Structure 1
Amino acid sequence: MSEEITRMPAVALRGMTILPSMIVHFDVSRDKSIKAIEQAMTADQKLFVVTQRDPEASDPGIDDLYHIGTVVEIKQLVKLPKNIIRVLVEGLERAELLEMEVSAGYLDAKVATFPDVKDQDYPGKGDEVGQQAMIRNLKELFQKYAQANGKISQELVRQIMEIEDLEHLTDQIAIHIPLYYEEKQRILEAVFLYDRYEELCVILANEENIMRIKVQLQEKVKARIDKNQKEYILREQLKLIREELGDDTTLDDAQHFLEETEKLTAGEEVKEKIRKEIKRFSNSAGNTSEAGVIRGYIETLLEMPWDKMSEDNEDISAARKQLDQDHYGLEKVKERVLEFLAVRTLTRKGDSPILCLVGPPGTGKTSIAKSIAEALNKQYVRICLGGVRDEAEIRGHRRTYVGAMPGRIANGLKMAGVKNPLMLLDEVDKVSSDYKGDTSSALLEVLDPEQNVRFRDHYIEIPVDLSEVLFIATANDVQGIPRPLLDRMELIEISSYTENEKLHIAKEHLLKKQIRKHGLENYTFTVSDGALKKMITSYTREAGVRGLERRIGEICRKAAKEILEEKKTAVRITESNLSRYLGKERYHVEKANEKDEVGIVRGLAWTSVGGVTLQVEVNCMPGKGDFKLTGQIGDVMKESAQTAISYIRSVGDKWNIDRGFFREHDIHIHIPEGAVPKDGPSAGITMATAILSAITEIPVRADVAMTGEITLRGRVLPIGGLKEKLLAAKNAGMHRVLVPEKNRVDVQEISGEIKKGLDIRFMENMDEVLELALCSQK
């Protein structure tokens, strides 16, 4: 065999091998390759192409290339976008790469061609019968391959079967069958005809066997399953492939769950339960519905934070700073939280308290819970209980039911990802009971420190430790919380805000929040203190600040419209122009009467929006001794009025009241604003004073307000809601307030800001009340 050595431009191919007689195109983008093609076009259009051993190599050297390549002739060039050239070439002959260097920016290769490839001795060489045997064998293998493949055209098969030259037959089969570039490279490196023939026979036989096995696998799968069950088909195919290959490296779902179980931070009891469920899951592969239920249960167990905990903040100063920054006032709540943090820091353990924040709407109960979570560095989970009637919402559904799921408590733990989050039970006083179960009773196990160490959710079934959870409940009214549930919680009352507190909250929190919300940060938008005070007194009537925030949002919206419509750069809201933004004033504080009057007494009452003053008016007129009550008075206040009448009749001689007066006169008690329902055990002394004043015609001091219940013997009983009532008295301009002696402790706990300017007197009996309330005695 004679070799011809020559030099020519070279291109390294990625994942592609070109054989002699093959016409094919490929894209080039590397600068060296483009310059090599340009150099070939300026010469005889011949190019040496050789395949890279590693397709990912960007700058291959001679050791990174196969040593046998192909000399090709360039037929056509097409320029594509992004500096890419598509080249159409025809393979001419094999060549061996001897040397390679970079010359003028392209690969210059020294190659040796093989002009004669029939010099090797092989069985049947020169023998017509041997040649024919090789041709027939090759054709038979190709025909079997084409039948198994199913994608080889009949026209190509016919053309191949008509070839009678062994070399031409070998080359044409190698060119037209789809092979990986490594297999084509092996054919290319078989320089001698017999070597090429053997290599091609092995490839055809292997490919035919692979396709036959593939068909057998498909037939086995098809025999086992229903055609409509797509998911089942895929699983059976995977199973059979693993059986045939003996491949145990790929983990199925059950093995994956087992791995996750071993990684789980949980006790052995929990892990053993999960392992049993995984075994059931493995045995239910043929039952899709059952497997889906078990899968959901296992995934839920793996997502639960059995023994996973977050690290609490131990810096009390930082926690105090966070709470003060987020909320103005609420000192009792803050102190209780800091006490809990101090105990937890000293003991490294301790039962988490069950705190219950009780107060009117809008006083910040929910938001303070979120601030506590941030201050203690705890995960925060909020569970709204308002209107929850189904016990399964708390305890979860049993897995025997369709669509079963964990209860809200267990689901909250799963969302938190740790076993010691802060869990807010919002509106705990609004849970209800019906035929589906008693929701409040289900909460007993959650909130009882003696029981929640092993809380049992019906879905999860494994006891869950809730002792590390910091529960905070919120409620508007203590009366709505069942007594057994209330007994397990530590009550912290959040009462109404004073005007000064509302002003601070508006300036430090609400105004900034609404400015951000309405996109006014880049404009000069200011609200004066006077405007805020007027909003508080004349445009809202509430215990909290929710309505105040709405009013601030309203002026922000109107300011935003002004800025865009009138091209303003600054808007200032003052007391004088506030009505332009909010309209006329909606509420007016009922001030103290200007003069002392007979039969009119100012009482104090607690409502859901704070304290108010109520005028009790009494008239006596000739009649038959009838007794009338008007003004939407409730049953409790009616009893107070009747008790007051009985008391006045019992002391009539002391006040020189004619014994026949009650037979000859009618007494009418009225509380104005008749459309508003009124009730409560705190108007007894007010009614008694008004009745005595009307009967004796002694005026009542206009600057005196009072609250307290009366007994038949004239004793004054304690009342609740004292802070709100004193606040209402102060806003009304009252000078003196009469309260029960037994409420002295409550008054001491009220801030000096509220008591400032009030003359608070403590009463034990009605004689003391009348002495201070009546102007003079006849």
Structure 2
Amino acid sequence: MSKGNQRTIPLLPLRGMLVYPTMVLHLDVGRERSVEALEKVMVEDKEILLTSQVDVSTDDPGEEEVYHFGTLAYIKQMLRLPNGTIRVLVEGLNRARIENFTDQDSYLEVETTVFDSETEEPDAEQEALMRNVLEQFEQYTKMSKKVTNETLTSVQDIKEPGRLADIVASHLPLKIEQKQRLLTLIDVTERLEELLDILNNEKEVLGLEKKIGQRVKQSMEQTQKEYYLREQMKAIQKELGEKDGKSGEVEELREKIEAAEMPENVEAKAFKELGRYEKVPASSAESSVIRNYIEWIVSLPWQTETTDHLDTKRAERILDEDHYGLDKVKERVLEYLAVQELTQELKGPILCLAGPPGVGKTSLARSIARSLDRNFVRMSLGGVRDEAEIRGHRRTYVGAMPGRVVQGMQKAGSKNPVFLLDEIDKMASDFRGDPSSAMLEVLDPEQNHQFSDHFLEEPYDLSKVMFVTTANNISTIPEPLLDRMEIISIAGYTEVEKKEIAKTYLLNRQMKDHGLNGRQLQVQDDALLKIIRHYTKEAGVRNLERQLATVCRKAARMIVSSEKKRVVVTVNTLEDMLGRPKHRYGQIEAEDQIGAATGLAYTAGGGDTLSIEVSLAKGEGNLTLTGKLGDVMKESAKAAFSYIRSRSSELNIDPQFHENNDIHIHVPEGATPKDGPSAGITMATALISALTERKVYREVGMTGEITLRGRVLPVGGIKEKSMSAHRAGLSTIILPKDNEKDLEDVPESVREGLTFHFVSHLDEVLELALGE
């Protein structure tokens, strides 16, 4: 190992480079402190310490920013350049280690240990290591081609092991940390072993680089060969007049684009994509993506439009053929036709058919399309949670497609179809997005002329589409979306309407489906009425059709299994076919009751009657509410209870009733969820009846919200509630005063069978509902 002696020397930090002993090279120096250090040594012994910086970006390195192992160098020549920098020629002399920084003001000066030059003859181990190093370096030179043969020859002439290690290391493309590691190894044997490891590693890296290069070259040659063969094939096909292969596909797609009559911006985009498709190899995954995009664009109806049959009398006839009743909806469609006939230009309206299941909302939309002579397309929104279902996926996704709105337009084949958005109240939202927000653009007449689909990337005009939506419960539709639609309520059918629908539509359809005709099966009117009253309980007619299907099946079996040629269904034979009645017609009590009042409710399935019962027992004033009631209904009960306490003297009720009695309010059919404020006056009436022991008239039904002062506030669903009261056999209905205007919505056949009383205060309710 070399011995060292102590010296104080100026320091010159180097950026991104390192000087080994015996190396001679030029350096450009420009930093002020480095220039000061050079001028200092030039007037003395011309020796300076060279070390590398840890971070090359540091402009003014200090004690922590330089490596503490460097090389003592001799300045052989110094030259000032015109740009102010100094170029010096240095020769590395010895390794040196910094022990201490003595001065850091004008320039860096350090105390160092300078190690003696390595002049000893190599021992046997070092000789072996030198031969290995030379052999490995020769192989590296052949693989690298960056080291010249002259350099290899000069290295082979070196006899000193330390000098050999330093010269070989200086010709390798090593990181500054690896070079610094070799510089710090004073022991020559260790240095040769380290260098041998580095050479082996560099050879492996070069071998891998060579393999990768050959692989890339082969791939490029194969691609060039395929391109050449493809061009040859094109030329041959052109000579033969054939249009097979990709060139034929490109021509076919070009013809489709020209025939699609797209807007200018969309056509330009399509031709641009076609140009890309032509250049991309057929084997590339991108080729199929581009082709899929072009085929979608050309298949959309950009300008194709059906001509509306603007004949209101014909449209009215078609609507009446398909549906019985539903006058409001029919009137709205005929209004649209009339305006269209006058203006010849009208943005498509957005109708929302709201009502319980089975009232014919979906089939009505189909009839609207038929009456207008428009194409019809249906899209179900039930359970849609992903925004991309509406807007489509971007083409960067694997298997991307347009949204269901654009898909529907492609199926429709025209830009002005009747587009049914079924079950719009059943949309949901989760982490994938909010589809109801995406629907805003579809249903907004001010926006949908430029509907943006992520897949198309170009606006599509939906302004001429007549959108029809359906919903069972509009309260679940977000307010901004509801604001863009015109709500048309379809409450349900009366008994008379159901009977007509069954005779005119349902029975004929089921007989046809079951292979029967009018000579083989006859259902009497009384039997139809019994099916409606005792075997179904619904606002629509879907379950009624199922019961008629059962009748047809039973009749078909009778005809096939016996010699009967004709089956007549009467009231007496109905039970043999359908079994015992499933529902009790009419909810009216057999006699007037104390503490039991009949309320009217509005549910997603239409109108219904609601029996509210109150019982009193000696206790401590506990109020119990049962029957699966929602929060709003519980609050109505408490409001009624508070009103009665405040008016106990006027009502001839014991003022201490709430302290001496436990009160239980129960709404039967506990499995059915019930909520809403419209049972307020019904609860108050039943409670007052129980406390005063005055009977509630059994034929009276009521609905209305109650306040703490006894005022009766208006509620919704008057048409549906009136129909349920008529169906239940009630004769008198008590309604809030402010709901008087809603009476015109109630069918005439229902109004004729009921007596309506409009009240504004609970006192009026009690006069009408309670006996002496």
Give the TM-score taking structure 2 as reference length: 0.69
Q: What letter matches 1:241 in structure 2?
A: I
Alignment counterpart, residue 673 of structure 1, candidates 669, 676, 679: 669
SS of alignment partner, residue 678 of structure 1: coil
Partner in structure 2 of residue 572 of structure 1: 568
- The Cα of 1:240 is off from its aligned counterpart by 5.0
- The Cα of 1:715 is off from its aligned counterpart by 0.4
| Residue 375 (structure 2) pairs with residue 379 (structure 1) | yes
Could you list the per-position Cα deviations for residues 722-775 of structure 1 after superposition, in whole angstroms to 9, with x for gaps in the alignment?
Answer: 122212222222221100011111112212111112110001011111111111
| Residue 248 (structure 2) pairs with residue 241 (structure 1) | no
CA contact (8 A) 2:533 2:583 kept: yes
Cα gap change, 1:657/1:521 in structure 2, threshold over 3 Å: closer, same or farther? closer
- Superposition map of 1:26-65 within 5 A: none
Partner in structure 2 of residue 531 of structure 1: 527
- Superposition map of 1:176-325 within 5 A: 238-242=233-237, 245=239, 247=241, 252-325=248-321
SS of alignment partner, residue 628 of structure 1: strand
Cα distance in 1 for partners of 2:310, 2:648 equals 67
Alignment counterpart, residue 693 of structure 1, candidates 681, 684, 689: 689
CA contact (8 A) 2:495 2:727 kept: no
Cα distance in 1 for partners of 2:742, 2:366 equals 29
- The Cα of 1:610 is off from its aligned counterpart by 2.7
Cα gap change, 1:293/1:654 in structure 2, threshold over 3 Å: closer, same or farther? same
CA contact (8 A) 2:355 2:606 kept: no
Cα distance in 2 for partners of 1:569, 1:326 equals 31
CA contact (8 A) 2:270 2:297 kept: yes
- Superposition map of 1:73-472 within 5 A: 238-242=233-237, 245=239, 247=241, 252-472=248-468
CA contact (8 A) 1:357 1:472 kept: yes
CA contact (8 A) 1:543 1:608 kept: no
Alignment counterpart, residue 621 of structure 1, candidates 617, 620, 635: 617
- The Cα of 1:496 is off from its aligned counterpart by 1.6
Q: Work out the number of aligned pairs and report it.
A: 550
CA contact (8 A) 1:590 1:613 kept: no
- The Cα of 1:620 is off from its aligned counterpart by 2.2
Q: What letter matches 2:377 in structure 1?
A: V
Cα distance in 2 for partners of 1:551, 1:249 equals 61
Cα gap change, 1:739/1:283 in structure 2, threshold over 3 Å: closer, same or farther? same
CA contact (8 A) 1:722 1:747 kept: yes
Cα gap change, 1:249/1:554 in structure 2, threshold over 3 Å: closer, same or farther? closer
CA contact (8 A) 1:497 1:543 kept: yes
Could you list the per-position Cα deviations for residues 64-90 of structure 1 after superposition, in whole angstroms to 9, with x for gaps in the alignment?
Answer: xxxxxxxxxxxxxxxxxxxxxxxxxxx
Could you list the per-position Cα deviations for residues 58-114 of structure 1 after superposition, in whole angstroms to 9, with x for gaps in the alignment?
Answer: xxxxxxxxxxxxxxxxxxxxxxxxxxxxxxxxxxxxxxxxxxxxxxxxxxxxxxxxx
Alignment counterpart, residue 700 of structure 2, candidates 694, 698, 704: 704
CA contact (8 A) 2:681 2:712 kept: yes
Partner in structure 1 of residue 716 of structure 2: 720
Cα distance in 1 for partners of 2:579, 2:653 equals 52
Cα distance in 1 for partners of 2:271, 2:743 equals 62
Cα distance in 1 for partners of 2:498, 2:228 equals 68
Cα gap change, 1:571/1:233 in structure 2, threshold over 3 Å: closer, same or farther? farther
- The Cα of 1:249 is off from its aligned counterpart by 7.6
Cα distance in 2 for partners of 1:513, 1:288 equals 54
- The Cα of 1:480 is off from its aligned counterpart by 1.3
Q: What letter matches 2:603 in structure 1?
A: T
- Superposition map of 1:490-569 within 5 A: 490-521=486-517, 524-569=520-565
SS of alignment partner, residue 526 of structure 1: strand
Cα distance in 1 for partners of 2:482, 2:452 equals 21
| Residue 606 (structure 2) pairs with residue 610 (structure 1) | yes
Could you list the per-position Cα deviations for residues 641-697 of structure 1 after superposition, in whole angstroms to 9, with x for gaps in the alignment?
Answer: 111111111111112323223211222212223333322211111111111111111
- The Cα of 1:614 is off from its aligned counterpart by 2.1
Cα distance in 1 for partners of 2:492, 2:726 equals 14
SS of alignment partner, residue 402 of structure 1: coil
Task: Give unmatched runs, 5+ long, in structure 2.
Answer: 1-220
Cα gap change, 1:236/1:518 in structure 2, threshold over 3 Å: closer, same or farther? farther
Cα distance in 2 for partners of 1:249, 1:432 equals 50
Range with bigger deviation, 627-636 or 292-301: 627-636
Partner in structure 2 of residue 89 of structure 1: none
Could you list the per-position Cα deviations for residues 114-160 of structure 1 after superposition, in whole angstroms to 9, with x for gaps in the alignment?
Answer: xxxxxxxxxxxxxxxxxxxxxxxxxxxxxxxxxxxxxxxxxxxxxxx
Partner in structure 1 of residue 680 of structure 2: 684
Cα gap change, 1:358/1:249 in structure 2, threshold over 3 Å: closer, same or farther? closer
Give the TM-score taking structure 1 as reference length: 0.68
- The Cα of 1:246 is off from its aligned counterpart by 7.0
Cα distance in 1 for partners of 2:549, 2:560 equals 17
User: How well do the aligned residues superpose, as a CA RMSD in angstroms?
Assistant: 2.2
Cα gap change, 1:652/1:233 in structure 2, threshold over 3 Å: closer, same or farther? farther
Cα gap change, 1:242/1:728 in structure 2, threshold over 3 Å: closer, same or farther? closer
| Residue 746 (structure 2) pairs with residue 735 (structure 1) | no
Cα distance in 2 for partners of 1:538, 1:522 equals 25
Could you list the per-position Cα deviations for residues 599-651 of structure 1 after superposition, in whole angstroms to 9, with x for gaps in the alignment?
Answer: 22111112333322222222222221111222222221111111111111111
Task: Give unmatched runs, 5+ long, in structure 1.
Answer: 1-222
- The Cα of 1:544 is off from its aligned counterpart by 0.5
Cα gap change, 1:371/1:663 in structure 2, threshold over 3 Å: closer, same or farther? same
Partner in structure 2 of residue 640 of structure 1: 636
